[in-house]
Structure 1
């Protein structure tokens, strides 16, 4: 991925432009998503929801924001 042109570099375990990261939300709760790791160390996005947070897989560098593919945290 590229940067935004404002000097922001992609961050996290997989490259996402900062503007994309800032708008990603948990489809189930609407909570912010933060970088996380799965049980085997694979990259995930973790919901910051206060109740029933979910972890979404990242496959081939692409976040899969499907509730049916998420696991409970």
Structure 2
């Protein structure tokens, strides 16, 4: 089950507080402002800075 649109509307990057978007593949949450991607594990976004990867 992908991340629900209602959740995407309220999610923000924990580092820069800017809006985020879902990757085309649906396996990451992307922040264009600070160029980080947050993984989605078991349909749950892991919005921890320590878990983010540079994109």
Settle same-fold status: TM greater than 0.5: yes
| TM-score bracket, shorter-length normalisation | 0.7 to 0.9
| 1:44 equivalent among 25, 28, 39 | 28
How many residue pairs match? The answer is 55
Instruction: Give TM-score, length-normalised by structure 2.
Output: 0.83
| Greater fraction of residues in helix | 2
**What stretches of structure 1 move > 4 A for 4+ residues in a row?**
none
Q: How does 1:1-40 map to 2 (within 5 A)?
A: 14-16=2-4, 18-36=5-23
User: Where does the alignment leave 5 or more consecutive residues of structure 1 unmatched?
Assistant: 2-13
Report the structure number with the largest CA radius of gyration. 1
Q: Which has the higher contact order (CA 8 A, sep 6+)?
A: 2
User: Where does the alignment leave 5 or more consecutive residues of structure 2 unmatched?
Assistant: none
Give the Å deviation of 1:35. 1.1
